[in-house]
Amino acid sequence: MGGTSDGRQLAERLALDPRYGVVLSFAGRTRSLQLPPVPCRVGGFGGVEGLVEYLRRESCQALIDATHPFAAQMSLHAVRAVEQTGTPLLRVECPAWQRAAGDRWREVPDMEQAVAALGQAPRRVFSSVGRLEVEAFRAAPQHHYLLRAVDEFSIELPHARVLAARGPFDVAGERELFERERVELIVSKNAGTAATYAKIEAARALGLPVVMLARPVLPPAPTVAMWQSALDWLDRLHGAGASRRGV
Ligand code: NAP
């Protein structure tokens, strides 16, 4: 289960290994989805029962959850589904970003708290939290918002602009963007990925405050921090000399 660059890289690597038959699954949220050159499926499974049915129908012998750390429902469904099927499950999840010297973070548990943290006085806000989450900003229409997302979208806010862009981003570019747009405050998910960390570094360099959305709590599952470790897990699971397996 993908939707991240980790999932994509892992699937591409597994597709080169004749011991494995891999299918990479996407939710299908992104309109500009670029499918990698590996077998893919797109769309929800239909809840826990749908995933159970899929794992059985496709005789999957391993399930790797390489979804985004904020894709909490899918990760929960994976845990519940393998309880029924007995399929070995591994979660690939990069560690959360840690506050460094010079960071001015305010950690919040959800978007409601993030909006409250913006304060009453109008400010110039940069946010990359995602198309669905930005709806919460409608509760504070006094601010100016620069909203970056993979796809273009519209939002009913008097002072909002959408910036469609796909990472990875670099620090110089992020810094230039924040200065040009006179950004005063950043709202970010604690994604933990290197691909989007540049905005946090740029904020630090410019002394900008960051409202940081804490990660959702996921049910426990065997977890590795890097997609490469999933290769070792599969090797251990099925034995280095095993014949073709479904992942
Ligand atoms: P979510 O809330 O955890 O999942 C909602 C539903 O979307 C799931 O119940 C499932 O539908 C379907 N779904 C999610 N990931 C799927 C996958 N990889 N393959 C097939 N179906 C999937 O997930 P989300 O936050 O909407 O994220 C959707 C996708 O975008 C994920 O693949 C995630 O990795 C990626 N993404 C999310 C974020 C984020 O901040 N949330 C950021 C970047 C990328 P059914 O119940 O019908 O099976």
CB within 8 Å of 236: residues ≥ 6 apart: none
Ligand 1 site-directed mutation target among 45, 64, 67, most atoms within 8 Å of CB: 67
Query: Are both 208 and 232 inside the same structural domain?
Result: no
Cα–Cα distance between 100 and 33 in angstroms, integer? 33
My answer on whether 161 and 86 are in the same domain is: no
What is the number of structural domains in the chain?
2
Give mean pLDDT, residues 85-97.
97
Regarding whether 139 and 50 lie in a shared domain, the answer is no
Is the same domain home to 141 and 201? yes
Contact 173, 196 (CB under 8 A): no
For a substitution probing ligand 1, which of 73, 74, 79, 111 has the most ligand atoms within 8 Å of its CB?
74
In this structure, the answer to whether residues 116 and 44 fall within a common structural domain is no
Cβ neighbors of 214 (< 8 A, separation 6 or more) are 107, 108, 109, 190
Residues 233 and 19 sit within 8 Å (Cβ to Cβ): no
Q: Which domain holds residue 74?
A: 5-95+217-246
Q: What is the C-alpha to C-alpha distance for residues 166 and 68, in angstroms, rounded to an integer?
A: 15
Q: Does pTM top 0.75 for this prediction?
A: yes
Residue 149 has pLDDT above 90, yes or no: yes
Looking at residue 1, its pLDDT comes to 98
- Residue-wise pLDDT tens digits, 21-66: 999 999 999 888 889 999 999 999 999 999 999 999 999 999 999 9
